[in-house]
Amino acid sequence: MMDFGKVAVLMGGASAEREVSLMSGSGVLKALRSKGVDAHAFDPAERDLSDLKREGFARCFIALHGRLGEDGTVQGALELLGIPYTGSGVMASAISMDKVMTKRIWLSEGIPTPRYQLLRRGAYDRRQIIEVPDALGLPIIVKPAREGSSIGVTKVAGYSGMVAAVESAGKLNDDILCEECIEGDEVTCPVLGQDDGAYALPVIRIVAPEGNYDYQNKYFTDSTQYLVPANLPAGEEEAIQALVVKAYRVLGCRGWGRIDVMIDRVTRKPYLLEINTSPGMTGHSLVPMSAKAAGISYEDLCVRLLEHTALDAGVPA
């Protein structure tokens, strides 16, 4: 194993996903220490990032989720400090955190993603909100454009629910994404590596209570089923793996990520929903689950990610 030096596990932070980040970071910290890594917890919401340089940290494992941790801001600060970090760089992180920008790039590359309309807070009225289902159909998914962990997401079954759903998402973000609802199998697929070396881990099929894979069912219940092997029809898993690797590469991601996919139950066509560039590492999280199915333990996964810490700017000064 490499000599990693003093490692900071960045966890907590100030986003709406702070609670999940603390769970992820605690798991990573324990795993790295079990492997003999000189790892320490570091919460950017409670300490200044300049302490990382002053206290001699050589690398950072980013276990932050959401805004101010997964959106390129912390990555940019670490670039200035010259401290290599896990995961994608500044641009890829910023684009991937924005679901609309991600969709625009995927669509330009011929990667299938559900149809959508963007509403900007303060730039629409009630009539425009009600008209969105006319274009996209019902049911419809309404969510903040830059949040994760299904926070602020509403599945709207009828016109009467649109205004409340948009208002709920608008409390979290100025940009509200209204998305065509693809009914069918919900799957997710992690990717490790970079460029031509990027590769997909096994696909996981998610079976949530009443099909509702929300924040509660993601992290705080044992009712959701995670099927790996996913037991999809012949050839579908391989096709999805190839598609998510392409989607990961065109965004310029590195290190690791996880892409969520819906498979239309009638056509069996996969539609990519979004990418997570700092995925969860909790007891319910999907990347460690998929890695385990590929023969990679949680501890070895953490070390492998740490081995690929990098800077956009190259070798630190």
Catalytic residues: 17, 149, 219, 258, 260, 274, 276, 280
3-state SS, the chain, equals CCCCCEEEEECCCCCCCHHHHHHHHHHHHHHHHHCCCEEEEECCCCCCCHHHHHCCCCEEEECCCCCCCCCCHHHHHHHHHCCCECCCCHHHHHHHHCHHHHHHHHHHCCCCCCCEEEEECCCCCHHHHHHHHHHHCCCEEEEECCCCCCCCCEEECCHHHHHHHHHHHHCCCCEEEEEECCCEEEEEEEEECCHHHCEECCCEEEECHHHCCCHHHHHCCCCCEEECCCCCCCCHHHHHHHHHHHHHHHCCCCCEEEEEEEEECCCCCEEEEEEECCCCCCCCCHHHHHHHHCCCCHHHHHHHHHHCCECCCCCCC
